[in-house]
Amino acid sequence: MAPKLPTSWAQLPPAFLLPDAFLPLIAKRGVKNGWSTAVPRSKPNRFNQQTAGLPTLTQSPAAALARKAYTLPLRTGALGIKKGMTAIYDPETGIRTACTVLQLDRLQVVAHKTRDKHGYYAVQVGAGWKHASNVPMALLGHFTGAGVSPKRHVAEFRVKDEKGLLGVGQSIEPDWFIEGQFVDARANCRGMGFEGGMKRWGFSGQGASHGNSKNHRTMGSSGGSQGSGSRVLPGKKMPGRMGGQQVTTQNVKVLKVDKEKGLVILSGCVAGPKGCIVKIQDAVKKPWPVIPEAVGTVKEALKATA
Amino acid sequence: MATATPTLRPLACWKSILRHSRQQKAITRSLTTLRAPERTAAPASRNSLPPVWQKLKVYPPPPSAAAASREPIKDFTNDQLRILDPTRARTNLFSKGNPEGAKVGDILLVRLKDGEPFAGVCINIRRRGVDTGILLRNQLTRVGVEMWYKIYSPNVEGIEVVQRKEKRARRARLTYMRKPKHDRGSVENIVYQYQRMKAGLRSKEDSNLGGKKKGKGRK
């Protein structure tokens, strides 16, 4: 055991008689205080800078944003309400295309998420309208602070940087999307309820005959016995609640846009029942759409006159 | 069993006295450094918001495009039909309320923009707005053939009723016609007769089309 340092007041003259150098040294090394006498490395110093030859951190918020920068859309998306499906005929070729009709309803930007405050850039968008008496006070304050009416649906759209932050209170019309461009549409799919293994996971079911008794659609074995551990492995596919999860349909073409009726016509089908809310944003797997300058200038002109 | 060593104890009490005085010193120090809290202005954002007990201002919603079009699918369909069927001939032909319209069981002839015309017994009419289609059944070389046609498709040039069913079919879908017992067989002869009759009545242009059909029939 290390000898005890003299700490008793009785063994030394009073402190006011002693210079600082004679005062007892209190040990600052040890398991309790960490053995290293170096400056803690958590703070950036000249040794852990990029120039020090050390690899840059790949698990920092900044690194995460840099990784995502390639796939994050440059501008915000929109919230639509799925109204149903119909078809469009190309008058020249006569080709029929099944399409989904979405309606945008009083879309406005409610808030921004910024790198400084929240760690990422996103645009919070609200759609529809809700009576103020049905909105909690805190949420109402959120809407009032943004200068918009209370919204029925609120969603966030991540964007790459602050250039993609559309001004708070600005409304998003169907002509935000360009006819012919591609979008990603995401919605909560239709809920199927409690479903068996055949429908939920595509199990083959069991034989109709050969002595099968009242087990035609049940799942077979749920795993091996003693040699395999005599247990059901986590994640085993079994009957249960099916549907209701978010489904993203990538690269959906925008066939038509109708500003007067607030319609966006998408090619093909989109997950979810009629009346469900659908998030659409520029497709990440296609080149970003080229926004004609005219749209922006016309909008500005309209604003100036209004 | 009280111990009788009180005379030796007073020296030991020095420790506690010193400790006490040290604490006293700390207290006096903290008292002397007493300072008034800085009066910093509250953040502007807090002040700008009204107090909780006041009613928040509620902004009115912007004008809604959705309110202008409550049933967008219907509107969209009508817009499309105005382009695809400007005379509303097709709509009337297959409308439920039209007693003169085509019904299941009738023999229909569909003329296409590119390709041979197809005739057959209509065994199903699927009414779905712009997606409305008909299912025609016929026999070509004694093989049953069924074809779906979208009535508003730009590829469909015309739809003609060749022969009506004498008695109204009592089913919406005449799928029983697929059974050999009920199969009407080939409607080629009926269509041929119809086209000859029409050729006699109509202009030369129509007769040309009939001739084409005839040639195919005689093969």
Q: Do the domain assignments include residue A22?
A: no
Model confidence pLDDT, tens digit, residues A10-58: 566 666 666 666 655 655 656 666 666 655 555 666 665 655 666 677 7
Look up the CATH number of the domain holding residue A111: 2.40.30.10
How far is B206 from chain A, CA to nearest CA, in Å?
A: 24
Residues of B in contact with A168 (CB under 8 A): none
B51 touches chain A (CB under 8 A): no
Q: Mean pLDDT, to the nearest integer, of A173-194?
A: 95
Q: Do the domain assignments include residue B58?
A: no
Model confidence pLDDT, tens digit, residues A236-259: 999 999 999 999 999 999 999 999
At A158, phi and psi to the nearest 5? -75, 140
Q: Do the domain assignments include residue A233?
A: no
- Give residues with Cβ within 8 angstroms of A27, minimum separation 6: A5
Partner-chain contact A94 B154, CB within 8 Å = yes
Integer Cα distance of B202 and B208 in angstroms: 11
Q: Do the domain assignments include residue A201?
A: no
B85 touches chain A (CB under 8 A): no
Q: How many domains does chain A have?
A: 1
Other beta carbons less than 10 A from residue A135's beta carbon? 20
Model confidence pLDDT, tens digit, residues B96-151: 999 999 999 999 999 999 889 999 999 999 999 999 999 999 999 999 999 999 99
Residues of A in contact with B126 (CB under 8 A): none
Range of the domain at A258: 69-192+243-305
Other beta carbons less than 10 A from residue B69's beta carbon? 19
Q: How many domains does chain B have?
A: 1
Q: Do the domain assignments include residue B158?
A: yes
> What is the structure's pLDDT at B3?
55
Q: Do the domain assignments include residue A102?
A: yes
Look up the CATH number of the domain holding residue B146: 2.30.30.790
Residues of B in contact with A89 (CB under 8 A): 80, 84, 130, 152-154
In contact, A262 and A175? CB cutoff 8 Å: no
> What is the structure's pLDDT at B219?
38
Partner-chain contact B66 A141, CB within 8 Å = no
Partner-chain contact A90 B56, CB within 8 Å = no
Nearest CA in chain A to B62: A106
- In this prediction, the residues of chain B whose per-residue pLDDT falls under 50 are 207, 213-219
Question: Is A113's pLDDT higher than 60?
Answer: yes
Q: Do the domain assignments include residue A23?
A: no
Nearest CA in chain B to A169: B62
Range of the domain at B106: 72-186
Q: Do the domain assignments include residue A89?
A: yes
127-186 in chain A: CB under 8 A from chain B: 129, 132, 137, 140-141, 143-145, 147-150, 171, 173-174
Helix (H, G, I), strand (E, B) or coil at B182: coil
Q: Do the domain assignments include residue B101?
A: yes
B149 touches chain A (CB under 8 A): no
Q: Do the domain assignments include residue B97?
A: yes
